[in-house]
Amino acid sequence: MTDSGIARPLPDGPVLSSGRRVRGRARSYVVDKPLIAGAIAIFAILAIVYTFSIGIWATAGASITADEPFYLLTTQSIIHDRDLDLNNQYATRSYTEFFDHRDGLWRQSVPAENGRLLSPHNPGLPLLLVPGYLAGRLAGAQAQMLLITAATFAFTYVLAARLTDRHGLSFLATLGIGITPTAFVYSTELYPEVPAALTLVLGLLIVTRQGRPGVRDAIALTVLLSAMMWLGVKYAPLGLITALVFLVRGNGNARYVFLAASAASGIYFAWFHLETYGGLTPYAVNVIYAGGTSTEIIEQHLALTDRFYRIWGLFIDGRFGLARWAFIVFPAVAGLALLPWHGWRHHVVLVLISTQLLIATFVAITMMGWWFPGRTLAVVLPLLVIPLTLLLAELPTKLRWIAGLLGAHTVATTFALAHAGHAREIRLAVNPFEMNSPVYQGIVWLFPNYTAWDAHTWVTTVAWQLAAILTLGVVTATQRRRRGTISSVSVPAVWVDRG
């Protein structure tokens, strides 16, 4: 087995699951029926689970809120007016089809000089939601998102199995991360994070495949990374990292095709946004940033000194911490320390996760907003399956029960959240952390609340940091004993697989 997981390259051609060798110029591969069956099972299980996230209210007065109505408002405009101008939608109050607040829908943007009223968001998600909205309005769009989320984790399972060569553990890890409260909620909320995660996972399947990527891979990756940009310019760093890996690994023709296609896509993207929004991002039409240049808007987002705590707060904050809501994330984070000790594919995963963490820390204006916890990390949430799988593989069998308990607690928290939501006990974008379930509230004292730096916040922060340092130290020391120095797996030549 190789670092990519499925099979060792075969000089005479690929071998099918039947054992028959196929000769020709095709790249070596194995048709892995159990892998396909596992992906289908992941998709089916999660699709069923995610249906229970439909119908949970976002606020006391509406089922969706924050940016969600404006994505759908643009979808309406695309369908009915064939443009992005929202004036007709406001004039006819067509938003009542999906936004049921008694006060109506507020305005999130200011009119342009030509009078057009545009949503301050990239149009990729509204365009993506057209089929679902045509099929069933809000419920149809949510059902489409549900299927996209289930597909994202199905492909994540394939990626994790290939990178770790642990199909069974990858299956369990994928289910564990896929049923976290964050994945559960965003499976049907109308945000671009999950579709962007799908493009990222599919892109990784291309750039980490066995053998050197070819021209067809170049075209497919261009489409995926272009889609990621149209979903949100905030995903550009993740797309750039994926593109650089392809440029290192692709053959000569593939590189030229990728560069040419990406350049054409980028030029059109820049032209469209400059013509439509007056800048490279749509943020300039937002009521908050109206009149500002792209540079000024970026400067308003960037900050360092007062946000450093988010590096750990994004995981352990008592209200908005990703791991606070999903205990299975704790071993996944510990598993990040294993990634440097494996092949270059794992290094890419670590760089992607770390990059998004830095963006969520120093670029995102806040980690606490009118949304469910974990939004700023949702795009790389599926990638946590890989370090989680690696950790499960390293743990002695008698210790895996600890991870099992953390996974069970995560699932219990998700179902408690679903129950509280359907019972109208909480609102997802307002007060999910006030649900009465003892599964959630019984351990609230373990976590800091970064809305106030009191004694409890300091004590719990230090305790969690010490626990993290100890855990990462143990993992690292164990790897050093088993594998020697890290340099043995860091030879640049491994970036090119020759079948």
Residue 394, H or E segment: helix 385-394
User: What is the pTM (predicted TM-score) of this model?
Assistant: 0.88
How does residue 301 score in pLDDT terms, banded at 50, 70 and 90? Answer: low
- Which region holds residue 55: left if phi is over 0, alpha if psi is between -120 and 50, else beta? left
List pLDDT tens digits, range 219-256. 999 999 999 999 999 999 999 999 999 999 988 899 99
Closest CA to 227 of 134, 148, 112: 148
Q: What is the pLDDT of residue 140?
A: 96
Q: Estimate the share of the chain in helix, then strand, then coil, as percent rounded to the nearest 5.
A: 65, 0, 35
Q: What percentage of the chain reaches a pLDDT higher than 90?
A: 64
* β-sheet bridge partners, residue 30: 15
CA angle 211, 212, 217 (to 5 degrees): 110
DSSP class of 54:
T
For residues 127-145, give the mean pLDDT: 96
Q: Within the chain, how many helices (H) and strands (E) appear? A: 20, 0
Residue 218 Cα distances to 41, 171, 204, 259, 391, angstroms:
30, 29, 12, 9, 33
Q: Give DSSP secondary structure letters for 429-487.
A: TT-GGG---HHHHTTGGGS--TTS--HHHHHHHHHHHHHHHHHHHHHHHHHHHHH--GG
As a whole number of angstroms, the distance between CA 387 and CA 383 comes to 8
Q: Quick one: DSSP state of residue 15?
A: B
d(CA 63, CA 189) in angstroms, rounded, equals 10
Distance CA 143, CA 132 (A): 7
Report pLDDT digits (tens) over 409-465. 999 999 999 999 999 999 998 899 999 999 999 999 999 999 888 999 999 999 999
Residue 302 pLDDT: 65
| Integer Cα distance of 196 and 70 in angstroms | 18
**Domain range summary for the chain, segments of one domain joined by +:** 33-58+131-492
- Rounded distance between C-alpha atoms, residue 137 and residue 143, angstroms: 10
- Does 29 have pLDDT greater than 90? no
Question: Which run of H or E residues covers position 134?
Answer: helix 130-164
End-to-end CA distance of the chain: 13
Q: What is the pLDDT of residues 67-121, one digit of tens each?
A: 899 999 999 999 999 999 899 988 898 888 888 777 778 888 888 878 888 999 9
Q: Cα–Cα distance between 225 and 229 in angstroms, integer?
A: 6
